[in-house]
Structure 1
Amino acid sequence: MEPLLADAVAALAALAVAALSLITIVAHITATKMPNFHRHEEEKFFVNAEGKKESIPSIHDPPTKELSVVVPSYNEEDRLPLMMDEALDYLEKRQKRDPAFTYEVIVVDDGSKDQTAKVAMKYCKKYGSDKVRVLTLVKNRGKGGAVRMGVFSCRGGKILMADADGATKFADIEKVEEGLRNLQPWPDQMAIACGSRAHLEQDSITQRSYFRTLLMYGFHFLVWFLCVKEIRDTQCGFKLLTREAASRTFSALHIERWAFDVELLYIAQRLKIPIAEVAVNWTEIDGSKLVPFWSWLQMGRDLLFIRLRYLTGAWRLETSKSN
């Protein structure tokens, strides 16, 4: 029996090595060397409050605002108003307290099939197109692709990623701003502060099914094992970056779907960009676009490919300027 068991173990090990080798080859062959960034003609301008076209600025231009808020939105006509009301109420009050504070909110309509763009344009007309801009993408790129398009079109010295569902209390921007300041001095003016829900994990487990809890722990393990070891919550959509950090990391980003946060932080760690993780107030909002099993499966595949493609040199940390 023992020789048979040893042979079986050896056969399984050989099969695992062969499978990993095949996956590595596939990951390498199917990889694009540099991020595929392309703007359609319709994406090279935004429509202002008067209905006129204005050209999109570039991340490579000097900043003219203190803060840019990028809001990726796909079929968010129902959830977007609550988030925008809260964010703009906070930003307007802050500007009244400090007239030197300047901001813009960029809503990136990621090829929505509903009235997301129309809802966002109402805020553009109310607050003016210098404060609220709507960038409409020709087709759906995925959350990471939408955020990147917004980042490359912003004017802020600091750039905040914020989800359209408003799950994170917007006033907690002050917490991530403090986290960013505490990282000073910033090497090459680059730093990132990530909002985090890790402190809420035990409470969320009691509200989830065993299956979803298992998926969550499996994903966290893969993130830690393959890519990012120092950040407990990579997926919170509330992240603040300096303009230089955003330009460098998003210029090297390949993943455009849900796992883009992981690659973003993986790139940042490889570039030795300091990262802070800051606890924020977060409430689960109905209407998530994540499909529990298939989205986690896709993210698991992306995590493996991120690691293998950088490991084999299929992806390299080079920056490409995009307008």
Structure 2
Amino acid sequence: MVSAIAQYFLAFLLSASVLAFFSFLLLTALSIFKPWTKRNKSHFVAPRFHFRPEEEEEANVQFPCLLTREETSWKGLQHSEPELYLSVIVPAKNEEKRLPRMLDECLKYLEKRAAKDSEFTYENKEFPFRLLSWTMGAPTAPLMWPSSTQGGAVREGALCARGQFILFADADGASRFSDFRRLEKQMHLLCNGDVLPSSEPTDWTHPAIVVGSRAHLEEESMSRRSILRTVLMVGFHVLVWVFAVRSVRDTQCGFKLLSRAAAAKLFPQLHIEQWAFDVELIYLAEHLQYSIAEVAVEWTEIEGSKVTPVFSWIQMGVDIPLIWFRYTFNIWNLNEVDLS
């Protein structure tokens, strides 16, 4: 009996070793044949400009930069001082049908906050900008940068942010924008250790990230999804938990708030620019021991998704193990950019 158990145990160890060996070979091959875009410090401090049609005045208005070169260190960058309380980033590509609704909700909320909260700084330059065939007056400026990916667009937006805090929200408006208040309260708790309302302003120099979450809606959404999408979703969550993130249940909700200090450190080190960029962002925050919290938000399924479900899930299924593999074996380093 004991001999049989020992044989089964040895067979299990041998099988596990063989599986681990071939998994290592597979990840090595994927890491070699799936390259990533390497960016130097010049990219992060490069000038970026407001998009304007050529016939309009002020066609070359430059954005401020999140980062500046640190003169005392040849390899270092330093975050710049904020000019506003909040910057909102909305990555959008071919979203002329859904973006107006999202921006309408966003701008109405910001105007209402500015009207009743004197500390909520809100700048309204009242200039028009053209988004394909749609025109509106808005207290914001579009950034046109050659990036065809979600993560790349968010990073480029963050590099132009002027706010003490940086919120990015999906263009489809699936998340209720007024839930920003929930994230804001949690951010204050992480940075200051007390709750709002408070006599002290939130400390933006503390590295923290608050993640909007749909995890509380998971059971209901699973009942409406197809079996294939449910299997893909569960498999994705398992991959994330095994290889990358343990502190957050829903890494993919497009509603996240970062302090300026956290954004300045995280975005220059981001390698993944596709749909799994959120996972790497939180992975970095965990390993740098930043303050992280997950807050439930209202979320609605919006028609016209730009994600091809099967292709995007396969792509993320490859990227997530590679995040673990490349950081574990120092192909990527946690401190490639010195922001001390």
Q: What CA distance in whole angstroms lies between the structure 1 residues aligned with 2:235 and 2:225?
A: 14
- Name the CA shift for 1:187/1:273 in 2 (closer, same or farther; >3 Å): farther
Q: What CA distance in whole angstroms lies between the structure 1 residues aligned with 2:13 and 2:262?
A: 47
Conserved in 2, the CA contact under 8 Å of 1:35 and 1:251?
Answer: no
Give yes or no for the alignment of 1:179 onto 2:186.
yes
1:188 CA drift (Å): 5.3
Pairing of 1:112-123 with structure 2 (within 5 A) = 117-118=131-132, 122-123=135-136
- Name the CA shift for 1:72/1:321 in 2 (closer, same or farther; >3 Å): farther
SS at structure 1 position matched to 2:166: strand
Give yes or no for the alignment of 1:151 onto 2:168.
no
Flag structure 1 segments of 5+ consecutive residues without an equivalent: 106-114
Picking from 57, 64, 83, the partner of 1:57 is: 64
Give yes or no for the alignment of 1:136 onto 2:144.
yes
Q: What CA distance in whole angstroms lies between the structure 2 residues aligned with 1:187 and 1:92?
A: 22
Map of 1:109 onto structure 2: none
Map of 2:195 onto structure 1: none
Q: What CA distance in whole angstroms lies between the structure 2 residues aligned with 1:298 and 1:6?
A: 35
User: What percentage of aligned pairs have identical amino acids?
Assistant: 43
Conserved in 2, the CA contact under 8 Å of 1:67 and 1:104?
Answer: no
Paired AA for residue 166 in structure 2: I
1:293 CA drift (Å): 1.2
Map Cα deviations across residues 113-145 of structure 1 (whole Å, 9 max, x no partner).
Answer: xx983367x34xx13xxx3110112341x1000
Paired AA for residue 138 in structure 1: P
SS at structure 2 position matched to 1:45: coil
Picking from 13, 23, 26, the partner of 1:23 is: 26
Picking from 40, 45, 49, the partner of 2:49 is: 45
- Name the CA shift for 1:321/1:68 in 2 (closer, same or farther; >3 Å): farther
Q: What CA distance in whole angstroms lies between the structure 2 residues aligned with 1:28 and 1:216?
A: 24
Q: What CA distance in whole angstroms lies between the structure 1 residues aligned with 2:298 and 2:323?
A: 30
Map Cα deviations across residues 170-223 of structure 1 (whole Å, 9 max, x no partner).
Answer: 000000001111113379511111100000001101110111111101100110
Map of 2:117 onto structure 1: 98
Paired AA for residue 297 in structure 1: I
Map of 1:110 onto structure 2: none
Map of 1:196 onto structure 2: 213
- Name the CA shift for 1:187/1:146 in 2 (closer, same or farther; >3 Å): closer
Map Cα deviations across residues 262-320 of structure 1 (whole Å, 9 max, x no partner).
Answer: 00000000000011100001001011122111110100100010000001010001253
Map of 2:174 onto structure 1: 167
SS at structure 1 position matched to 2:143: strand
Map of 1:269 onto structure 2: 286
Map of 1:236 onto structure 2: 253
Pairing of 1:250-269 with structure 2 (within 5 A) = 250-269=267-286
Moved more, 270-279 or 176-185: 176-185
Count of equivalent residues: 303
Q: TM-score of the superposition, structure 1-length normalised? A: 0.84
Q: Which has the higher contact order (CA 8 A, sep 6+)?
A: 1
Map Cα deviations across residues 69-121 of structure 1 (whole Å, 9 max, x no partner).
Answer: 0000011010000000000011111111124422479xxxxxxxxx983367x
Moved more, 182-191 or 171-180: 182-191
Give yes or no for the alignment of 1:75 onto 2:82.
no
Q: What CA distance in whole angstroms lies between the structure 2 residues aligned with 1:194 and 1:158?
A: 13
Picking from 108, 111, 116, the partner of 1:89 is: 108
Moved more, 11-20 or 82-91: 11-20
| Structure (1 or 2) with the greater helix fraction | 1
Moved more, 142-151 or 8-17: 8-17
RMSD of aligned Cα (Å): 3.1
Map Cα deviations across residues 223-277 of structure 1 (whole Å, 9 max, x no partner).
Answer: 0111101101000010000001011111111000000000000000000001110
Map of 2:76 onto structure 1: none
SS at structure 1 position matched to 2:91: strand
Q: What CA distance in whole angstroms lies between the structure 2 residues aligned with 1:58 and 1:69?
A: 15
Conserved in 1, the CA contact under 8 Å of 2:164 and 2:204?
Answer: no
Conserved in 2, the CA contact under 8 Å of 1:24 and 1:308?
Answer: yes
Conserved in 1, the CA contact under 8 Å of 2:36 and 2:272?
Answer: no
Q: TM-score of the superposition, structure 2-length normalised? A: 0.80
